[in-house]
Structure 1
Amino acid sequence: MKSILYLVCFLSFSNLANSQIAYSPQDVAKWKQAFQSFHTQTDLPFAQLVVQTGKTWIGTPYVAHTLDKQPTEQLVVNLKELDCTTYVESMLAMGMALKEKDSSFQNYTNHLQQIRYRNGEVNGYGSRLHYFSDWLYENEKQGNLKVITDQLGGKPVPKPINFMSTHRAAYPALKSDEYFTQISQIEKEINTRTLLYIPKSEVSKIESKLKEGDIIAITTSIKGLDVVHVGFAVVQDKRIHLLHASLDEKKVVISKKPLAEYLLGNKNQAGIMVARVTQ
């Protein structure tokens, strides 16, 4: 996810909506294909539209860390290879563009940029929403979602968030003192907020309150880090599963196990934050 949870690769460059964007003709074609497939289903509830669209990307290869290979920060569009965060971002942006019944690639990329960057502006490495709890906070401010972890009985995350600044060598961009200072300041801001999560031992108790299309952000026991994985809740055999770009399976999948059991089988996964899309 972003530098923390792995990101997409870029293929070519163009100028759209006054910012440099990395994409390929195949990405444009994939967006056009998705629009043609779903433009008659735009009356579906937004969450359902996102899930139905997202399922068509099952089998898409998982590719990690590729955003940070760029020499400068740019909006990257890659619908051929996804990680967990870019999958969620891409499907949300696609759902928004479909709801507007606007087939232009620029409209899709406008939404993607608004979702991925603070205030929707690409302005260097620090403008990208690297920490997913920060991503949730900013997207809630924009009206894209509502964080409902508190309504589900969430408990405070028992640690400060500072993984990036305390692991500076792991992030090439943080060789820059300017970017390091920006990230450190963002961490301080995050730590003024009350972050809540549902411990994984309690997820089965609140499973009936989850809905298809809810964004499931998986928290971690790793020191200084908030979230290690993300996907969408989907119903399968009357249980909540996770629709996600899987690092283990190297592709977009629906988890074989229900979410509650999936979490219990992962040592470093502590629990979940939950957000409900509001379009």
Structure 2
Amino acid sequence: MNKRIFLLASALLFGLTILFAQNRTNNSDEQICKHILAELQQHNNKPTAELVVDAAKLLMNTPYVAHTLETEPEQLIVNLRELDCTTFAENCLALARTAKTRKPSYKHFKNELQFIRYRGGEISGYPSRLHYFSDWILDNDKKHTVKSISQSIGNIEFDKTINFMSQHPNSYKQLKNNAVFIEALNKQEQELTNAKLYYLPTEKLETLKHQIKNGDIFGITTTVDGLDITHVGIAAFKGDELHFLHASSKAGKVILSEETLVEYLLNRKPSTGIMIARPL
């Protein structure tokens, strides 16, 4: 009897421990969000782009973790404890936009994050997420969260066939054996391939860097077949030099780059330049 009671008590304690851990995890995202919003709200007279930089600095040293959004069924994932390069940029923009509202709240932040992350702001399965960052820029330009400025700065067309996801469905668990999702992604890829995309080539960046502003969100274009962009960052000048804040897989956390953006691109052969979105 004593053994049974001990086992039951142990099971109950284990269950309570798991429940507490889950609640703590969920609560920590809300607490991080509220802390950052409180900091940003003190300076919410700043332009949104400047608040994006402030939010990014408050998230520095947050661990880099990939694939945090890959859950089924598709749903809004809030994770301010672990970031990859895209979720870092999305969260910073959502935090900045929320801080500019009259009554910033965690609920408002989640609404902003969904609006930014999904096509038209609506969640309707895996293909509704903006998987390609050039598509993210186009869709968020339409939603007036950012303005695509690559054409106005560089005016050089990014002419490339984009089809990486539909050509490599086994690399994405949601696409494996799912012909409906593959077809939907393939249609989006064709539209993106036919869209007018522009970028700023690496060789022109040093000359034109002063047309970029703190808080501009950029994607690094690539020579990899079928892909548009391989990394995302937030522009941050150090004196006269253009650096950037990003969730770095190499550093394993959110950092301010030691290299200038030009140096970073020149040191990575697949990189060809950047596409730029300015927060509104």
- TM score, norm. by length of structure 1: 0.89
Secondary structure (helix, strand or coil) at the match of 1:198 reads strand
CA–CA separation in structure 2 for the residues paired with 1:100 and 1:207: 31
The question of whether the paired residues in 1 share the 8 Å contact of 2:40 and 2:96 is answered with no
Q: How many residues are treated as equivalent by the alignment?
A: 258
CA–CA separation in structure 1 for the residues paired with 2:259 and 2:239: 11
Aligned to 1:106: 107
Structure with the bigger percentage of helix:
2
Q: Report the identity percentage.
A: 41
Rg comparison, structure with higher value: 2
2:69 aligned to which of 44, 67, 72: 67
Q: Which amino acid aligns with 1:89?
A: E
State the 1:71 CA deviation: 2.3
Q: Where does structure 1 lack aligned partners over 5 or more consecutive residues? A: 1-10, 14-22
CA–CA separation in structure 2 for the residues paired with 1:202 and 1:82: 30
CA–CA separation in structure 2 for the residues paired with 1:32 and 1:104: 7
Deviating beyond 3 angstroms after TM superposition, the runs of 4 or more aligned structure 1 residues are none
Q: Which amino acid aligns with 2:193?
A: N
CA–CA separation in structure 2 for the residues paired with 1:244 and 1:91: 11
The question of whether the paired residues in 2 share the 8 Å contact of 1:39 and 1:101 is answered with no
State the 1:156 CA deviation: 2.1
CA–CA separation in structure 1 for the residues paired with 2:155 and 2:66: 30
Task: Evaluate the alpha carbon distance shift between residue 49 and residue 66 of structure 1 in structure 2; reply closer, same or farther with a 3 A threshold.
Answer: closer
Secondary structure (helix, strand or coil) at the match of 2:275 reads strand
CA–CA separation in structure 2 for the residues paired with 1:198 and 1:36: 36
Aligned to 2:200: 198
The question of whether the paired residues in 2 share the 8 Å contact of 1:146 and 1:276 is answered with yes
CA–CA separation in structure 2 for the residues paired with 1:75 and 1:97: 17
CA–CA separation in structure 1 for the residues paired with 2:169 and 2:256: 34
CA–CA separation in structure 2 for the residues paired with 1:144 and 1:83: 20
Deviations 1:127-174 (A, max 9, x none): 000000000000000011111111112322232000001111111111
Q: Which amino acid aligns with 2:190?
A: K
Aligned to 1:78: 79
Aligned to 1:37: 39
State the 1:12 CA deviation: 6.0
The question of whether the paired residues in 1 share the 8 Å contact of 2:60 and 2:254 is answered with yes
Secondary structure (helix, strand or coil) at the match of 1:76 reads coil
Aligned to 2:151: 150
State the 1:27 CA deviation: 0.2
CA–CA separation in structure 2 for the residues paired with 1:173 and 1:202: 39
CA–CA separation in structure 2 for the residues paired with 1:105 and 1:241: 30
Secondary structure (helix, strand or coil) at the match of 2:269 reads coil
Q: Please, what is the CA RMSD of the aligned residues?
A: 1.5
Task: Evaluate the alpha carbon distance shift between residue 157 and residue 34 of structure 1 in structure 2; reply closer, same or farther with a 3 A threshold.
Answer: same
